[in-house]
Amino acid sequence: MKTVTLGLNHKSAPIEVRERLVFDAPETIGALRRLKDRFREAEFVLLSTCNRVELYCASKREGGVTAEDLANFMSEFHNVPLETFKEFLYSYDNEDSVRHLLTVASSLDSMVVGEGQIIGQVKKSYRLACTAQSTGKILNHLFHCAFATAKKVYTTTSISSGRVSVAGVAVELAMQLFADISSAKVVVIGAGEMGELLVRHLLQVGCKDITIVNRSYERGQNMAKRHGVVARKWEELAEQLIQADIAIASAAVQDYLFKKESFKKIMDSRRKGTLLIVDIAVPRNFEPSVNEIEDVYFYSIDNLSEVVEQNRKAREQDIANGMQIVSENVADFMDWFGARDIGPLIGQMKEEFAQISQNELERFFVGARQEASCKEVMQAMVNRIVNKLLHCVIKNVNTVAKENGEAEAARLAGNIVRQAKEISLEANSKEDAKQGRINSDKH
């Protein structure tokens, strides 16, 4: 078996590409079911967040699912030409694939290192895969290994201390760009998990005038009550923006809430000056060209890089410690993963060696020798020799497993099985050719 990961993230692809390939929960289940129908023997998990879209796959080593298969599927599902995002894709196989998932789950590959949302997103993705019945023994074991790794990284390092979320970074940016954030009127668009984080961070930095606007007014109200802020109906969003100093958007929508022309009307109605918009939604809530309107300062999730870099530098030692934990757990998983392959391969090796010895005995005991009295003794002797040679081979495979890992040992055992099959088939073909010549001579 092998594992393959294909994806793109905030480091490899701009937001205008990522937002075209995002999967919501129903789409994720639908996509996984289609993949499972197409590749019945393979396993799949799909991780889709505001910063990454990644497909994880386990399939047979020879003739299994390839990164190209996954890329073509992603293109087909979203009806987006592969040429428009192919250059932004990355892919990993086997050990590199395992290391990538463990690094992602531990937030060491996040835009904001140490953020706690990613592990919840990875767990949700795994649950969706279980619902779609697209997982199996390998990915089940791999994702539980990722959960355990993340827990150890979070509990044994201080990587999650401080404001470590995209929401926190958005508020940090607002503080840098707005002189007195405590006196600013802030409109939070969206009452999901990210919206709740935004409200918490805003309250922590002293914001006193916070309004939540959500498509579901009831949900917005419930969140507002929890935090002692105000909620307004979705229909009042434009009015709230007219009065706002800062708008931070995280609503889950498939198209822009505001395009340049419609938003210009809102700005024309304002009596206030500058409006700061921080759009951390993917897909985005505001058309980027709103930044061209006078007195609008627009920042998308990809514009948070300076604050993100400050966060990364402050956690360099934690990152190193976290990566050490990841490496240890990758080695443990690969030992388990390789052992799954070695057992059956050793069995196949024994069968192929036995077949070769049987072929040679049959070639020897033909004609007058067919009824030889020593036939049974010869068979026992040949079997003993083959078993001793097989024991040496298995011993060497075990040595490779100890010194270079189970995956390398599985590759060695697989090569031996393939070569033994070739020897067996070659001997049979030569014998068939010889028998054909004998029959021809008789006629």
Active site amino acids: 50
Partners of 56 in beta bridges: 5, 45
**In whole angstroms, what is the distance from residue 236 CA to residue 221 CA?**
14
Residue 409: both structure tokens together: 């040992």
CB 112 within 8 Å of CB 159: no
CB 212 within 8 Å of CB 188: yes
Enumerate residues 6+ apart whose C-beta is below 8 A from 217: 231, 233, 234
Nearest partner of 238 among 267, 196, 278, judged by Cα: 267
Using the structure block, give the residue that is written with the tokens 């073509």. Answer: 72
Using the structure block, give the residue that is written with the tokens 């392959």. Answer: 341
At 9, which helix (H) or strand (E)?
strand 2-9
To 5 degrees, how large is the angle CA 258–CA 260–CA 264? 95
Supply the Cα-derived Rg of the chain in whole angstroms: 31
Residue 201 backbone phi and psi in degrees, to 5 = -65, -40
